[in-house]
Amino acid sequence: MDNLKPGDTMMREFNLSNDGSLKIENVHLETGYSVTDENGDNHDDLGKHIKVNFLWNWNQESEPVFETTLYELKEMDPDIVKRDIWDPLWEQKGGLESEETHDFWVEFEFVDNGEDQNIFQGDSLELAWTFNATQAEGEDL
């Protein structure tokens, strides 16, 4: 993320696909990011100023199902993220079947806190998300 000013938002679409042969029961999201401090003047973490709004089916859902900052998301236990983001979808859809894809949208917002945020001018943030999926527990057949 770069060239954002306070108050700017950007929407991105993600596709969660199950290319395996078994149904996905759970998804854990791990968040990492690095900030390039262009001017060497940051006394704050840019991730604390980037709000993340998770939305499902952009055409049908206008309210975020979960929102937090990148900084908080990075510090969160993946089980909390699973509970707050994926579990509501799985309750509706029953998991992610083999060869199935679910689209979801994420809105990133550079929050304008009403204070001087010029220390972030020229900075960029590289986001790394890792999705770890697990199948249901085994059954006696």
Q: Tell me the pTM.
A: 0.82
Tokens matching residue 33: 């990011």
Mean pLDDT of 63-75: 89
Look at residue 135 and tell me whether its pLDDT is greater than 90.
Answer: no
Look at residue 1 and tell me whether its pLDDT is greater than 80.
Answer: no
Provide CB contacts within 8 A for 67, sequence distance 6+. Answer: 51, 52, 53, 54
Q: What is the pLDDT of residues 3-61, one digit of tens each?
A: 889 999 999 988 888 998 998 888 888 999 999 988 888 889 999 999 999 876 655 55
Of 3-7, 68-72, 80-84, 113-117, where does mean pLDDT reach its minimum? Answer: 80-84
